[in-house]
Amino acid sequence: MLTSTTTHEGAGAHGKEEAKTDPASLLQHLTTESQNEASQGFDTKSALEIARIINHEDAKVAAAVKKALPEIAQVIDQVARSLRDGGRLIYIGAGSSGRIAALDASECPPTYSTAPGQVQYIMAGGPKALASAVEVNEDSEELGQRDIARRRPTRKDVVIGLSASGRTPYVVAATAYARARGAYTAAVTCNQEAAIANAADIVIVAEVGPEVISGSTRMKAASAQKMVLNMITTGAMTRLGYVYENLMVNVHMQNSKLVERGIRILMRACSIDRETAVQTIKSAGRSVPVALVMLKAKVDKPEAVRRLAKSDGNVRLAIEDTVLEL
């Protein structure tokens, strides 16, 4: 049986045993569960005072994430290598963490034209937990192991467990299972000395401190996790060459807004007029990357397609006709 708890520094033998079995003992050591002095008397404040207090606390989130940038960068490169080699990025979470994971995974296909299976999420309670609370599932190690086992993680994959507390049994167990199967594992948490650290190859800690409403980790902790996941997928897709300069060149043009975005991207990247951009996109089979390579490298569609295949979809390298290396 995998353990999903941890002991705390300075505890004696009896204290260690208590920390493994007593939820109250576990929670009292978590900064995310501590009471925030800045929001004392919160229920007596005016609407403007409430907004100011929350805003003041939210301002701490970016600074907390900044401290984890070296670890985030390592995960970015690992995800890029994995996706390039045919692997997957699989998020695992519960509650707010799971919903953030689902959001990030669902936004990759329209933003970068990734296949739906490349970036996935697993959430305690399944898809129905996105809209309805099914928090009881997050206490089950067995369910966590079962759900990740169904995805059959391999050495090609990156599995990221998200847990604000760092001790969610479902997430810890699933992350440990994936690591045992050879997947590269990372953890995103908001507490130091988290149990999930023992289940992952690398730990990203964004210690945002106590929440305005004690224990309400859908606030600062969730914001920090959202920022981290934004960095990981945006960074990985950029490293793979799905971004040219700072333009979303791999956009999936499935509706009128995205078609217009594709046209404007081509106009900016190539300094051309709208009519030229529209005609080139049409001749490129409605593919912005193909159109961009055609214009920048001054080649026809078959040659642009060949170059993109050679560079594994990296637009800049396709323009330069070189090979992707990570």
- List residues with catalytic annotation: 107, 138
Residue 128's alpha-carbon distances to 103, 105, 170, in angstroms, are 14, 16, 16
Question: Residues 154, 181: contact at Cβ < 8 Å?
Answer: yes
Contacts of 12 (CB under 8 A, 6+ apart): none
Give the tokens for residue 306: 């060949």
Question: Residues 24, 202: contact at Cβ < 8 Å?
Answer: no
Q: How far apart are CA 143 and CA 126, in angstroms?
A: 10
Contacts of 86 (CB under 8 A, 6+ apart): 156
Contacts of 182 (CB under 8 A, 6+ apart): 153, 154, 155
